[in-house]
């Protein structure tokens, strides 16, 4: 009996040990299941984060709002479709080949005076023909000094002393005239050549020493004269049916400020401000008075001006749609981009505006594609793929809310498809910053905006900038120059 009892106790002990071991293993299994579940979640989050970072590194100026200056050296796919045209000048393009002038400034006759065969004199022999070759070159350039003298006389009858008047631009005993001043302004603000290099050019070309500070002072001195032209530019902008507006950053004294532009195909007005928002556009003063159609991106400041109607830039939309297609592999975005481009082609074929029935057709297509986009994003979320979804949802919501602004170009002939005009006008501001880095004084930045506004307006009218600046500095109104032949 003792052996039986001992064996029973041993069996019980073994069973209890096995149960305890099973319980420990069950706890370990549960712990491992929880850890595995947590690791799977972390792995999913890390995959999404990696995909997000990879998408961020693939962003460039063609699929985001990044400027072209931020593009890396890696290859990027072109945003334009390939054309069937051959590279280079197209048929009918006149080109700029150097051709002989009908009325040369100088003539040099190279005579045949003696026969190389027999030595007979050919001085009085008429030539069989004259072979003409022309050389285009620059004359010797040097600085000229013009001394202005005014008479002071006393009337012999009433004894009144009176004097003649100097030209309005002759204000000092020694100064630079409008020709050299306009040339330096042209180099500095139209060609964006830094002041130090301008001094080197003046010394090399004209053998005349000049300091960089003198170039800066020229800009400041003549700024009030050019500000009168700014008033004429603003008046033209306020009467235009459409107005392109945009903004970009510019460094002044090492800090970020903002250059705001309001422009058309004929006029440009730049204004600099420390603020990017409504305070800046109010202070510059054009947008609060404008009552036409503003063309812009989706920046929230512009819709605050309710006196004007508004149109959205589809170049921005196409870049965003390309981002969703290329970086996040969304399919709805590619179809939406194709539809926008088809709308643009339809408007161009129709001569600038569509009949109402066509507009309603494209509005229905627009609504359907946005609805399809929402459904695709919901399906992606259900499948656990959230990459780019929130940003795309905000984009779709914006297009739905501002549908009339987005599709205004279908109805109004004067409303363009994009805001490329303002972006082109701001490009030279970024080039200036790339060359000079920063402005040392706020006054210099303001002067640049004033002079660059005038230069851009002259260029848009096809006027020679240097010659036109000379006329402005000599007191001629801007409108007279713009409308002269």
Q: Decide if 299 is inside a domain.
A: yes
Q: Detail the DSSP E strand segments found in 190-334.
A: 242-252, 255-263, 268-273, 293-296, 309-312
Q: Which of 171, 179, 181, 173 is nearest to 214 (CA)?
A: 181
Of the segments 77-91, 208-222, 283-297, which one has the largest average pLDDT value? 283-297
Do 319 and 307 lie in one domain? The reply is no
In whole angstroms, what is the distance from residue 316 CA to residue 325 CA?
A: 14
- Distance from C-alpha of 422 to C-alpha of 246, rounded to nearest angstrom: 6
| 415 phi and psi angles, rounded to 5 deg | -90, 120
Cα separation, 216 vs 226, in Å, equals: 15
Task: Report the phi/psi class of residue 195: left, alpha or beta, with left for phi > 0 and alpha for psi in -120 to 50.
Answer: alpha
For residue 90, the model assigns a pLDDT of: 76
Are 446 and 298 part of one and the same domain? yes
What span, in angstroms and rounded, lies between the C-alpha atoms of 145 and 324?
64
Residue 92 lies in a domain: no
Residue 242 within a domain: yes
User: Which residue among 366, 395, 411 closes a domain?
Assistant: 411
Residue 210: inside a domain, yes or no? no
Dihedral over Cα of 98, 102, 106, 109: its sign:
positive
C-alpha to C-alpha distance for 199 and 197, rounded to whole angstroms: 5
Query: pTM to 2 decimals?
Result: 0.79
For residues 423-456, one letter each, b for 16 or more C-beta atoms within 10 angstroms of the residue's C-beta and e for the rest, the string is bebbebbbebbeebeebeeeebbbbbbbbbbbbb
Total of domains in the chain = 2
**Nearest alpha carbon to residue 290 among 267, 313, 274, 273:** 267
Residue with tokens 């505006």: 353
> Collapsing DSSP states into helix, strand and coil, what is residue 306?
coil
- Cβ–Cβ < 8 Å for 319, 64: yes
Same domain? 321 vs 296: no
**pLDDT value at position 240?**
96
Regarding whether 329 and 392 lie in a shared domain, the answer is yes
Same domain, 306 and 319: no
Position 460 in a domain:
yes
Element (H, E) at 154: strand 152-154
Residue 181 belongs to a domain: no
Of 7-16, 222-231, 354-363, 436-445, the poorest mean pLDDT is in 7-16
How far is Cα 328 from Cα 111, in angstroms, rounded to an integer?
A: 78
Quick one: 254 and 285 in the same domain? yes
Q: Are residues 321 and 404 in the same domain?
A: yes
Dihedral sign from CA coordinates of 461, 466, 467, 472:
positive
Structure tokens belonging to residue 375: 């459904």
Which of 411, 432, 458 represents a domain boundary (last residue)? 411
Q: Do 221 and 279 lie in a common domain?
A: yes
Q: Among residues 367, 391, 411, which one ends one of the domains?
A: 411
User: Across all residues in the chain, what is the average pLDDT?
Assistant: 88
pLDDT in tens, 181-233: 999 999 999 999 999 999 999 999 999 999 999 998 888 888 888 888 999 99
pLDDT in tens, 316-332: 999 999 999 988 889 99
Q: What is the pLDDT of residue 59?
A: 65
How far is C-alpha 67 from the chain's CA centre? 8
DSSP 8-state symbol, 170 = -
pLDDT (0 to 100) of residue 398: 94
Residue 343, pLDDT score = 96
Cα(316)–Cα(322) distance, integer angstroms: 10
Task: Check whether 313 has a pLDDT greater than 80.
Answer: yes
- State how far the Cα of 303 lies from the Cα of 10, in Å rounded to an integer: 87
Alpha carbon distance 75, 67 (integer Å): 16
> What CA–CA distance (Å, rounded) separates 151 from 173?
15
Residues 321 and 383 in one domain: yes
The one-character DSSP state at 115 is: -
Q: Which of 341, 335, 354 is nearest to 409 (CA)?
A: 354
Tokens read off for 339: 């539809």
Cα-atom radius of gyration of the chain, to the nearest Å? 37
E-strand stretches of 155-291: 161-163, 242-252, 255-263, 268-273
Q: How many secondary structure helices (H) and strands (E) does the chain include?
A: 15, 7
How many CA atoms, within 13 angstroms, populate the side-chain half-sphere of residue 324?
A: 26
Average pLDDT estimate for 59-84 = 61
Q: Is a pLDDT exceeding 90 seen at residue 387?
A: no
User: Helices marked H in 69-194 — which ranges?
Assistant: 178-185
* Residue 136, domain member (yes or no): no
Both tokens assigned to 355: 């009949």
User: pLDDT value at position 463?
Assistant: 95
Q: Quick check: helix, strand or coil at residue 423?
A: helix
| Domain span including residue 235 | 216-311+440-482
Are 295 and 368 contained in the same domain?
no
| Residue 70 φ then ψ, to 5° | -90, -5
Say if residue 228 is in the same domain as residue 293.
yes
């Amino acid at each position: 009996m003792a052996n039986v009892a001992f064996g029973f106790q041993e069996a019980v002990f073994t069973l209890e040990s096995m149960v305890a071991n099973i319980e420990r293993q069950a706890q370990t299994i549960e712990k491992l299941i929880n850890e595995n579940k947590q690791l799977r979640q972390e792995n999913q989050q890390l995959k999404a984060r990696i995909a997000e970072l990879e998408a961020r590194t693939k962003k460039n100026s063609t699929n985001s709002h990044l400027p072209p200056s931020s593009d890396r050296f890696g290859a990027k796919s072109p945003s334009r479709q390939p054309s069937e045209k051959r590279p280079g000048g197209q048929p009918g393009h006149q080109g700029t080949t150097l051709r002989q002038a009908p009325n040369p400034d100088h003539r040099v006759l190279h005579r045949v005076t003696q026969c190389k065969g027999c030595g007979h004199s050919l001085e009085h022999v008429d030539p069989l023909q004259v072979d003409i070759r022309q050389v285009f070159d620059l004359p010797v350039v040097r600085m000229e000094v013009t001394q202005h003298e005014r008479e002071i006389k006393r009337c012999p009858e009433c004894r009144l002393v009176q004097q003649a008047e100097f030209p309005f631009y002759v204000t000092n005993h020694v100064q630079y005239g409008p020709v050299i001043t306009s040339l330096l302004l042209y180099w500095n603000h139209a060609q964006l050549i830094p002041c130090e290099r301008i001094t080197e050019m003046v010394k090399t070309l004209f053998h005349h020493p000049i300091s960089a500070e003198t170039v800066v002072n020229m800009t400041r001195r003549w700024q009030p004269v050019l500000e009168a032209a700014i008033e004429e530019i603003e008046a033209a902008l306020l009467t235009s049916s459409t107005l392109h507006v945009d903004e970009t950053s510019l460094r002044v004294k090492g800090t970020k400020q903002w250059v705001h532009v309001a422009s058309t195909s004929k006029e440009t007005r730049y204004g600099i401000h420390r603020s990017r928002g409504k305070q800046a556009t109010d202070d510059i003063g054009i947008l609060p008075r404008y009552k036409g159609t503003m063309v812009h991106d989706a920046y929230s400041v512009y819709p605050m001006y309710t006196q004007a109607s508004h149109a959205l830039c589809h170049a921005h939309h196409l870049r965003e749609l390309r981002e969703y297609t290329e970086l996040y592999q969304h399919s709805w975005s590619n179809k939406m981009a194709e539809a926008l481009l088809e709308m643009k082609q339809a408007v161009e074929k129709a001569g600038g505006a569509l009949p109402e029935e066509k507009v309603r057709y494209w509005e229905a297509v627009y609504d359907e594609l946005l609805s399809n986009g929402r459904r695709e994003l919901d399906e992606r979320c259900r499948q656990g793929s959230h990459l780019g979804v929130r940003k795309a949802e905000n984009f779709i919501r914006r297009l739905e809310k501002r549908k009339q602004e987005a599709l205004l170009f279908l109805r109004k002939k004067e409303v363009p498809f994009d805001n490329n005009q303002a972006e082109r006008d701001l490009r030279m501001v970024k080039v200036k910053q790339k060359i000079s880095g920063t402005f040392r004084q706020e006054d210099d930045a303001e002067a640049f905006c004033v002079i660059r506004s005038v230069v851009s307006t002259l260029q848009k009218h096809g006027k020679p900038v240097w010659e036109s600046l000379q006329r402005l500095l000599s007191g001629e109104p801007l409108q007279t120059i713009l409308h002269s032949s």
